[in-house]
Structure 1
């Protein structure tokens, strides 16, 4: 099951690699050269491992030589600052180096990662933070030996299993042959933090929630990371790529009288702190979010619904990520446990003819706004590539890592993973475009007309969402769920739109995708963190608003806990407790 969430907070979604924020971001400082000492140490130890493991002096029948070894090292600086109700709750700087050692035994056709043993190739350890070559090489040596033992044990199990199991549906190889890459880019520059300036900004922003006593929790955090990833392999790949991210996240929670928990979240992302919104923009956004959250407390709870709806661009983006994107990831087209929704539909129409879908991680921004899913090289050392997934509604290809499938034997630069996980085919920047676009007013009128035609008293408008998840395994229903935050009933009799709560969008992919009637003219961005078997990674989805002729909703789970019984303590204008 895959989950896609806005970057709400470290407690709600995995953002361990995107920690917090200085006032001067890495992008504002001069660049520095890649750490060649680190690269040289990685290369030397890798060469020694390839030459020594399974050497002729050993029993080759029991200790075969690895045919592939790679080292991936993440070297990062990060800073995290959080405030709530006008006070700083957390301020932390950190430095981290960690190494993923991957070892494959056997051959590309069948190795120790076969079937359910994919993770057997990977060993992860922390590395020394100082540029002590001897210490780095010793750490890599230890991880390599441990990884080789694990890979060897798994390879023996794979060989045994092949003697007793039935023929697999997809007998593709376990590893693709790729051209080695050599690109040592300038390293990310260290973060430079003006903590006092950010303390004031966050105190002021989180202090705004003191004016809303119904909101019992808030969290405003600024996050940044400066990371360089180094990758070397026995095939000759030698890559160093930088990455800088700045993010400001606002989360607020309340509870309705009937026990339903409600929350809103806003995420602002940029390639540097200097490009995050100014304070006035953030203040306006937070006040609007807080007012909407308070209004949701008394909004009526929606009933299950099946009828026409408009999804805003943000909601549409998550819809495509969950309903379509995950099912186009390469590894989901092979394996006895995968549902393989679209595996047999290559060259066939799976969307209306006016819709095309690409995934382009080479894009840093879209219409001036940063995209979370950008990268130069994937986590297998392959160059990022634009992939045209669907053209004019027709399925063209899948998102490929170095795990081949029946139809495609090579990577297209989408092998991605969190540190400590094996890369798989994953989304980067999923971009939906349309040739059947109408303005907002016309799209709304089309919604009303469709609702009248179906005899519905209203259509639904989904303005904002929080997250979603998709199930792709064969043993479970091929279903999806998207959790909206802001939903309105749009009445056909002209009554004002009505805010409602407790809505959850559900359905199955092929039915949902073929009910798209038209789209809006403007494409919106949703940046978030996506969790799946290869870990939590930053992704983006870009899509226009869309009208669907039929969408199914159900009621969300509802708690029974009362809102806080004791009211919050009063505060005076200075922000201190009122002692009167």
Structure 2
């Protein structure tokens, strides 16, 4: 899945992301940027001076290969030159007592160099209230140059200096080899200086700090990879056709005066990611994605802002759903927002609940997935929730969890978290994280942790960020399944047993976040959009608003009683210390015996004072006729 285009996509702003937190949100949901951060705090133990003086041996990179794309050849040529010349001994004339003398200066030679380039094209079209508000296309090439000085046991990225290895720069768009090489040379020189400075700080800090808890190395040894797949084809979409479709979609909201904001966004991108390293890795992988997102907002009389989102995803724009299907879901979204405006606010609750498959998928991504990312198992600041629980049961025995970025679709539906190679040039791998409730491993980048010294293909990053262990396609499976109807009856029975008038059913969600650092409570929060009270006395379900799910991971995970018999998909984007990356989560609906909710924050602004302009009759007839046709 494309790296550089990720940060350029439109996405829903997470109101909860903050230092020490990771945030998950619907991909491309809003025209505002996402705030994503998690404290960068992986640290390793001191090593001997002999280790610092002995970089790990690796075969020198052989240089450019005839027949490679021009961009790849330029990367290979400059990498070969940098590997050969950086750290060479320099002789400088120095005056001494009226005579010329020489001073020999030896700079350390990088033990690892890599160039990663994202070459992408993207088209973005936005519409609001039946009119186009933006239509543009972009072509960019962005390079990440990584320089490591020292040795794998300890280098310039140690502790809080992890980002010192990385320098990012835009490249020429044309295949002008000398210009590309010159730009890479400048970025390499800048990166080498940063690495030198950081490595001196690392060595100084090791003299004064206490022994670190995890003595793992700063970088893993991996076998070089070599696979150059055909570059992504040139992006070609009919912008006029899509502008017409988006106008028709957003015209639906003209008939709903209480919806004061709406947008429909088409984002299509073709990208090829190139990676070469001094270890001999040479990979190139294409990716294509098309995403249609529809967002609408309203405000209740008490000032609470409410929104709904529909997302459609495919590999190309031609595989997105037919217009008739999109219009039907847009209409349903608008009606639901009108109903939410007048729905009662639910009070804080602690009792049984069902999470739909989509809600359960986000629940597992936030509550479990982030805490199984490798870098969260080391460092003075990480909470390390599951670090000491390897080969111990952490889920009910009927649940298993894998992360498999090698699959591009699930039951025919595209998965956002698919990729061929991770952002460290390692092949994507299926990882069995939990088997029959027992924790087996973690999601690893090339940052080792105790007991796990190698990557398993999950080093991921947004362009301009250092890769860390991240989720791709997190898939939850169950051996204790019942039908939706049975799960609902089990909810009622559990609520009655606990003396509750109702249980809760979480149908749709928007986002979530998880705190993983020691200095904050090890908590999570998931933000549902559509929630119902399911009454034990047989009354009709009641739509409510203003709910958020909160809790701590170990307590929440051990209260799962049963699951539904089919799995649903959540596609979105996740923000953490290595930036925003596309992810997917797949899970069945699940019944929990106890879940805690709190009220969402509530605004104080009143709904719009003046009614919106009236919809002219000619506009209304045109919109209705067009919607009825269900054009393709």
TM band (smaller chain): over 0.9
Find the partner of 2:282 among 238, 247, 257.
Answer: 238
Q: Please give the alpha-carbon distance, in whole angstroms, between the structure 1 residues aligned to 2:242 and 2:140.
A: 23
TM-score by length of 1: 0.95
Find the partner of 1:96 among 140, 145, 153.
Answer: 140
Alignment of 1:512-551 (within 5 A): 512-551=556-595
1:194-230 C-alpha deviation (Å, 9 max, x unpaired):
1111111000000000011000000001111000000
Alignment of 1:548-559 (within 5 A): 548-559=592-603
Contact 1:34 / 1:187 at 8 angstroms: preserved in 2?
A: no
Give the Å deviation of 1:575.
Answer: 2.5
Aligned partner of 1:291 in structure 2 is 335
Give the Å deviation of 1:12.
Answer: 4.2
Contact 1:372 / 1:539 at 8 angstroms: preserved in 2?
A: yes
Alignment of 1:306-325 (within 5 A): 306-325=350-369
SS at match of 1:349: coil
Alignment of 1:377-388 (within 5 A): 377-388=421-432
Contact 2:90 / 2:106 at 8 angstroms: preserved in 1?
A: no
Aligned partner of 1:21 in structure 2 is none
Aligned partner of 2:540 in structure 1 is 496
Give the Å deviation of 1:120.
Answer: 0.3
Contact 1:13 / 1:529 at 8 angstroms: preserved in 2?
A: no
Cα separation, partners in 2 of 1:125 and 1:8, compared to 1, 3 Å: closer
Give the Å deviation of 1:35.
Answer: 6.0
Which segment is superposed worse, 480-489 or 34-43? Answer: 34-43
Aligned partner of 1:202 in structure 2 is 246
Q: Please give the alpha-carbon distance, in whole angstroms, between the structure 2 residues aligned to 1:88 and 1:47.
A: 48
SS at match of 1:48: helix
User: Are positions 1:257 and 2:301 aligned together?
Assistant: yes
Aligned partner of 1:11 in structure 2 is 31
Aligned partner of 2:393 in structure 1 is 349
Contact 1:113 / 1:120 at 8 angstroms: preserved in 2?
A: yes
Aligned partner of 1:303 in structure 2 is 347
Alignment of 1:140-289 (within 5 A): 140-289=184-333
TM-score by length of 2: 0.87
Contact 1:305 / 1:553 at 8 angstroms: preserved in 2?
A: yes
Structure 1 gaps of 5+ residues are 17-32
Contact 1:330 / 1:400 at 8 angstroms: preserved in 2?
A: yes
Which segment is superposed worse, 357-366 or 2-11? Answer: 2-11
Cα separation, partners in 2 of 1:122 and 1:550, compared to 1, 3 Å: same
Aligned partner of 2:44 in structure 1 is none
Structure 2 gaps of 5+ residues are 1-20, 37-65, 92-102, 623-632
Q: Please give the alpha-carbon distance, in whole angstroms, between the structure 1 residues aligned to 2:307 and 2:518.
A: 33
Q: Please give the alpha-carbon distance, in whole angstroms, between the structure 2 residues aligned to 1:88 and 1:15.
A: 27
The number of residues matched between the two structures is 562
Q: Please give the alpha-carbon distance, in whole angstroms, between the structure 1 residues aligned to 2:226 and 2:104.
A: 32
Find the partner of 2:123 among 55, 59, 79.
Answer: 79
1:363-399 C-alpha deviation (Å, 9 max, x unpaired):
0000000000000000000000000000000000000
Q: Please give the alpha-carbon distance, in whole angstroms, between the structure 2 residues aligned to 1:127 and 1:281.
A: 41
Task: Tell me which structure has the larger Cα radius of gyration.
Answer: 2
- RMSD of aligned Cα (Å): 1.7
Contact 2:166 / 2:191 at 8 angstroms: preserved in 1?
A: yes
1:502-533 C-alpha deviation (Å, 9 max, x unpaired):
00000000000000000001100000000000
User: Are positions 1:366 and 2:399 aligned together?
Assistant: no
Contact 1:333 / 1:340 at 8 angstroms: preserved in 2?
A: yes
Find the partner of 2:79 among 34, 40, 46.
Answer: 46
SS at match of 1:164: coil
Aligned partner of 2:477 in structure 1 is 433
